[in-house]
Chain A
């Protein structure tokens, strides 16, 4: 089955700096790569996703890049703000008739310091 590895497990940055979180996956058939943000005591919420037919996607301060050959994908947050502090999870799945069965990474605790 799919295996997703995520690094780093913790990341501390100064407000205004950029943050980068990296993931690798093992199943070359995976075609959907979402990123979820989970604040303490709250549900995971999708912040951005990318499909395998695209190499990069951007939404304001957040961007995701995908390298299918190397089976790497990364989350980039620019101009970080204190409200970006949370746990971020990457995931991979094969979208199809059997549903969106996500395999998650272990999470990155991001702390944005003033």
Chain B
């Protein structure tokens, strides 16, 4: 499989549940990102991992916890979420090199918190 793949595609969870979103990139990139896409709002950058080191945490609540075990995999661990956290969560990857490269997005995980 090529590109950036995310699982699951859809997730419904209760506010007391713990779940994880998974992202895998097959592009040989060394930077990975989590974005949140809510209705009527721009895509919001949540976390950035560059060379497996977290370089950005955009004031995201601690109920979202990222993990990047290697340059190909990225997780977003979720616990005690709120209904307003319902959104499309997009993973992206890019190459950190001379000048950098475009960001490629996965299909996203549609999360509904009930």
With contacts defined as CB atoms under 8 Å apart, how many contacts are there between chain A and chain B in the complex? 69
Distance from A105 Cβ to chain B, minimum over Cβ atoms (Å): 6
Distance from B109 Cβ to chain A, minimum over Cβ atoms (Å): 11
Seen from chain A, the residues whose Cβ lies within 8 Å of a Cβ on chain B are 4, 32, 34, 36, 42-46, 49, 51, 89, 91, 95-107
Distance from B101 Cβ to chain A, minimum over Cβ atoms (Å): 7
Q: Which residues of A contact B105 (CB under 8 A)?
A: 36, 43-45
Distance from B112 Cβ to chain A, minimum over Cβ atoms (Å): 15
Seen from chain B, the residues whose Cβ lies within 8 Å of a Cβ on chain A are 4, 31, 33, 40-45, 48-50, 55-56, 90, 94, 96, 99-108
Other-chain residue from B33, B104, B107 in contact with A99 (beta carbon distance below 8 A): B33
Once the chains bind, are B43 and A101 in contact (CB under 8 Å)? no
Other-chain residue from B42, B48, B55, B100 in contact with A106 (beta carbon distance below 8 A): B42
Other-chain residue from B48, B102, B103 in contact with A98 (beta carbon distance below 8 A): B48
Once the chains bind, are A100 and B31 in contact (CB under 8 Å)? yes
Other-chain residue from B40, B44, B94 in contact with A100 (beta carbon distance below 8 A): B94
Q: Which residues of A contact B40 (CB under 8 A)?
A: 106
Please report the C-alpha to C-alpha distance between residue A44 and residue B37 in the assembled complex, in whole angstroms.
11
Contact flag A89-B56 (CB < 8 Å), given A45-B105, A99-B96, A100-B101: no
Pairs A–B under 8 Å by Cβ, sample size 16: A4-B42, A32-B100, A36-B105, A43-B105, A43-B106, A43-B108, A98-B48, A98-B55, A99-B100, A100-B31, A100-B33, A100-B100, A102-B43, A103-B42, A104-B43, A106-B41
Distance from A103 Cβ to chain B, minimum over Cβ atoms (Å): 7
Distance from A107 Cβ to chain B, minimum over Cβ atoms (Å): 7
Distance from B90 Cβ to chain A, minimum over Cβ atoms (Å): 7
Q: Which residues of B contact A4 (CB under 8 A)?
A: 42
Once the chains bind, are A98 and B42 in contact (CB under 8 Å)? no
Q: Which residues of B contact A44 (CB under 8 A)?
A: 43, 90, 105
